[in-house]
Amino acid sequence: GEIQKAMSTIENKFEEQGILEELSGFLLCESISYKEGIGYELLISCSQDPFFGTVLSIGLGGTNTEDYAGWMKDGLSLTQYDSLNEEFESELASLPCTKILLGGSRTAALVSQAKLEEFCRGIFEFFQAFQPCSKRGFFVKEVELNPVVVSSGDLIALDGRSEEHTSELQSP
């Protein structure tokens, strides 16, 4: 019905411009609703540090991510962890970037701390599975999800990027 009609319209526009062969397909995604703004969007990433190993970073996300670091005091726009232990669990709710999501800022919690911990652990474990010692022939140097938003009580990564390498990490 409507989807097929929209796809045909797009194909026709590509054909009119003589670039139909450049169209390789269509990606259909569910539209979700979420609240935008500081505290409602997170940046969650993992990277490989030669000294600390796998490092998880949690910070304010969205389209203004780079600006937040300049607006906030040192250490408040982004927090990094090299292991997801009890310290991580106890600090998670007190981070400036998670207060609104977890209900610590005169708001009802949008997501449970358990779901946020589970989401972070999933990224951390995925990242560790693709390190040089995994013998897969390549490794993931960095994964960044931004924004990670809440919709109907679940965390959803709306966009992300990764950086892969086929050679071993070099020590600095």
Q: Are 158 and 148 in contact (CB under 8 A)?
A: yes
- Distance in angstroms (rounded) separating the CA atoms of residues 89 and 96: 14
Q: Are 149 and 158 in contact (CB under 8 A)?
A: yes
- Residues 115-129 have a mean pLDDT of 90
Taking 50 as the threshold, does the pLDDT of residue 17 lie above it? Answer: yes
Q: Are 164 and 139 in contact (CB under 8 A)?
A: yes
- Count of CB atoms situated within 10 Å of the CB of 84: 17
- Distance in angstroms (rounded) separating the CA atoms of residues 78 and 90: 16
Return the SS3 of 102.
coil
Taking 50 as the threshold, does the pLDDT of residue 172 lie above it? Answer: no
- Residues 7-13 have a mean pLDDT of 92
Beta carbons within 8 Å of 128's beta carbon, 6+ residues apart: 54
